[in-house]
Amino acid sequence: MTEIFGVPVQALFGQLMLGLVNGSFYAVLSLGLAVIFGMLNIINFAHGALYMVGAMLTWVGLEYLGIGYWWMLVLAPLCVGLVGIAIERLMLQWLYKLDHLYGLLLTFGLALMIEGLFRDLYGVAGQPYSIPEELSGAFNLGFMFLPKYRAWIIVASLSVCLLTWYMIEKTRLGAYLRAATENPRLTQAFGINVPLMVMLTYGFGVGLAGFAGVLAAPASQISPLMGSNLIIVVFAVVVIGGMGSILGSVLTGLALGIIEGMTKVFWPEASATVVFMIMAVVLMIRPAGLFGREK
């Protein structure tokens, strides 16, 4: 078998794919964080917990209600989005006039509550979820086997990211949104319902997290703890990329996923910490983040 730097090609491309898959999750999650941050000026600590809820709902849907993967791919993000809207209306909206740190603290509390609740209901053991029939099996690319489901994760996440980008940058609704981000008062004066947009933005942002959760369900063990460790890495991704640009956060997410995957091949011990190390280096040379603007 051919080797590159002493590593079999098969293993190298396998890890590259895995890195891309992880990168896709980073991209979707950091995109959601960036969208929410742009509009609400809040870092949504509950993002990881809501991602977990998306995955758990997918499992619960099949296990108890017999609803399959494809339906849940639509239903779970909608449910998570509705939960988000409820959170925004009931709690977050009272905090906009205060220091932004309170938003972080509130969503941290919510994350603890959601995670604890699911732990109490389902325990910490992972639940298996089988890959839907249409996506099981693998493509033979000649130099490697590409599992269909992994390809699907990458395609689906990137499509969603692209769609979000298109919606925000190219449509009328997106123009309102950007206007409201830039200057909420003036936008409101033009007759646009800014509080409604804020509410929908939060719902949409966490809906993205729910979507990522459904994608993750067949690819990993579904457990109440799956979101909390992931979200800290995503925070580091967000610090590295800066939250100024949508495409920037998507690219940073993908790139870091790949770097992490490659680290697993060449220096396995560092694979858990490599993203944080990159963050430290970026903070030293470009504190505002790669795509960020200093406010």
Interacting residues with another protein (CB under 8 A): 42-43, 91, 94-95, 98, 100-102, 104-106, 108-117, 119-120, 228, 232-233, 235-236, 238-239, 269, 272-273, 275-277, 279-280, 283-284, 287
**177/279 with CB nearer another protein:** 279
Two structure tokens written together for 7: 């590593």
Q: In angstroms, what is the minimal distance from the CB of 112 to another protein?
A: 3
**176/276 with CB nearer another protein:** 276
Report the C-alpha gap between 126 and 230 in whole angstroms.
15
Q: H or E stretch including 8?
A: strand 7-8
Q: In angstroms, what is the minimal distance from the CB of 35 to another protein?
A: 15
Two structure tokens written together for 37: 């941050």
188 phi, psi to nearest 5 deg: -65, -40
Q: Decide: helix, strand or coil at residue 139.
A: strand
Q: In angstroms, what is the minimal distance from the CB of 207 to another protein?
A: 22
Q: In angstroms, what is the minimal distance from the CB of 269 to another protein?
A: 6
Q: In angstroms, what is the minimal distance from the CB of 265 to another protein?
A: 18
Q: Decide: helix, strand or coil at residue 127.
A: strand
Q: H or E stretch including 264?
A: helix 246-266
**12/43 with CB nearer another protein:** 43
Report the C-alpha gap between 46 and 92 in whole angstroms.
12
**240/258 with CB nearer another protein:** 240
**155/272 with CB nearer another protein:** 272
Q: Decide: helix, strand or coil at residue 83.
A: helix
Q: Decide: helix, strand or coil at residue 146.
A: strand
